[in-house]
Structure 1
Amino acid sequence: MKVLIDQDTCVASGQCVLTAADVFDQRDEDGTAVLLDDTPPADRAEDIRRAAAVCPAQAIRLEE
């Protein structure tokens, strides 16, 4: 799985970080989501899918 974030679409809600803090973080200056790991291990797939689903801006895209 490859994870992508559209930082221009991100609204800095932090839901992705709450769901998968080992994969997502937020920039200190504006809260925009950043990826810590764009190819997380398979055992994290469920949480990554959940993070994409709860993103209010739909800024997270997954390539499986």
Structure 2
Amino acid sequence: MSEYPVTADELMAFEDGRLGPGEVIDMFQRLIDSGMAWRLQGSYGRTARGLIDAGYCEEAA
């Protein structure tokens, strides 16, 4: 596994709307698992929380 669970290219693809729904969920699960979701700009944390609350992602262990 790389040092970063999500690459800058993935973040840019998300920002540009180039990821499908499954790719977004996978990326956010990795952001949540690594804790990065809570360290990036606020919209990432809000999106992560929304995906957890909706049952698409799980809280980090």
**Taking structure 2 as the reference length, what is the TM-score of the superposition?**
0.35
Q: Which has the higher relative contact order, 1 or 2, with Cα contacts under 8 A spaced 6 or more apart? A: 1
**Taking structure 1 as the reference length, what is the TM-score of the superposition?**
0.34
